[in-house]
């Protein structure tokens, strides 16, 4: 199964990707996580990415594609979380998949009203194992500690209200053309992200179970 998750920042995309990974046993590829890892390691791509990420802007296409291309080639099934984010990236993804004789099964768009996004991101707590929590809506069992791996939870540097406004604006400008692109291809599905995590996942599961059957 090959799918893309599209959602504005703070919509719970990472959480849903984790749930899909566990239930459907497909690899979760997050460009945000890969970029943060590259920044932490201080690689050349990471150094190039940092200044854009700190401002909440999109990292140039060549950096992101450089970081993700081999992963897409080596994996047969995957959930792409955070890629593509622009029409150009979507076209590159199509080319990479074409070269491998593969196709995307579906693109799931998680919709959440703008006013809820800032509130969600500002309370977000992340773990380096990939788990994501929220101070109010999805707190860990022990304060500051990841339920899954026992790691120390942290706040992402770009999860501030100011950066969020910039990221939502950037999402609207650059990502909305993608929605049209995938709609025209007939593979776009939409879910309501403004409800409990379990309910959002239930909607996603219905879509994925149908794909598995077809
Ligand atoms: P995320 O974890 O998906 O919210 O991504 C965090 C940040 O990484 C974004 O604000 C961008 O600066 C950068 N980023 C992640 N994925 C992409 C992408 N596909 N294209 C450009 N920048 C990206």
- The pLDDT of residue 144 is 96
- How far does the centroid of ligand 1 lie from the alpha carbon of residue 145, in Å? 25
- Residues of the chain under the 50 pLDDT cut: none
CA distance 160 to 158: 6
Whether the CB-CB separation of 9 and 164 falls below 8 Å is answered with yes
- Domain 2-112+165-213: assigned CATH number: 3.40.50.300
Catalytic site residue 13? yes
Report the atom number in ligand 1 closest to the C-alpha of 68. 19
- The pLDDT of residue 107 is 97
DSSP state of 138: B
Q: % helix / strand / coil in the chain, to the nearest 5? A: 55, 15, 30
- The pLDDT of residue 64 is 94
Report the atom number in ligand 1 closest to the C-alpha of 30. 3
For the chain, the domains span: 2-112+165-213
| DSSP-based three-state secondary structure for 160 | coil
Report the atom number in ligand 1 closest to the C-alpha of 163. 10
- The pLDDT of residue 56 is 77
Residues 9-48 as b or e (16 or more Cβ within 10 Å = b): bbbbbbbbbbbbbeebebebbbbbbbbbebbeeeeebbeb
- How far does the centroid of ligand 1 lie from the alpha carbon of residue 213, in Å? 32
Query: Is the CB–ligand 1 distance for residue 64 below 6 Å?
Result: yes
- The pLDDT of residue 12 is 86
Whether the CB-CB separation of 29 and 75 falls below 8 Å is answered with yes
- The pLDDT of residue 79 is 95
DSSP state of 152: B
- β-sheet bridge partners, residue 124: 134
Q: In 10 A of CB 212, how many CB atoms?
A: 9
Q: What is the pLDDT of residues 63-107, one digit of tens each?
A: 999 889 888 988 999 999 999 999 999 999 999 999 999 999 999
- The pLDDT of residue 41 is 94
- β-sheet bridge partners, residue 145: 152
């Amino acid at each position: 199964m090959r799918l893309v998750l599209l959602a504005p920042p703070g919509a719970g995309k990472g959480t849903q990707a984790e749930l899909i990974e566990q239930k459907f046993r497909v690899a979760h590829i997050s460009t945000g996580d890969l970029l943060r890892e590259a920044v932490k390691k201080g690689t050349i791509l990471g150094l190039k990415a940092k200044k854009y990420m700190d401002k909440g802007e999109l990292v140039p296409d060549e950096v992101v594609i450089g970081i993700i291309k081999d992963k897409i080639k080596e994996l047969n099934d995957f959930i792409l979380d955070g890629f593509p984010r622009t029409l150009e990236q979507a076209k590159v993804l199509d080319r990479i998949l074409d070269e491998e004789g593969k196709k995307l099964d579906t693109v799931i768009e998680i919709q959440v009203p703008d006013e809820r996004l800032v509130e969600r991101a500002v309370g977000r707590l992340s773990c380096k194992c990939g788990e994501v929590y929220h101070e109010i809506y999805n707190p860990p069992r022990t304060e500051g500690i990841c339920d899954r791996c026992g790691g120390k939870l942290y706040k992402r540097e770009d999860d501030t209200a100011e950066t969020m406004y910039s990221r939502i604006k950037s999402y609207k400008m650059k990502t909305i053309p993608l929605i049209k692109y995938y709609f025209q291809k007939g593979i776009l599905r939409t879910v309501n992200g403004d409800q409990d995590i379990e309910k959002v996942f239930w909607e996603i599961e219905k879509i994925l179970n149908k794909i598995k059957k077809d």
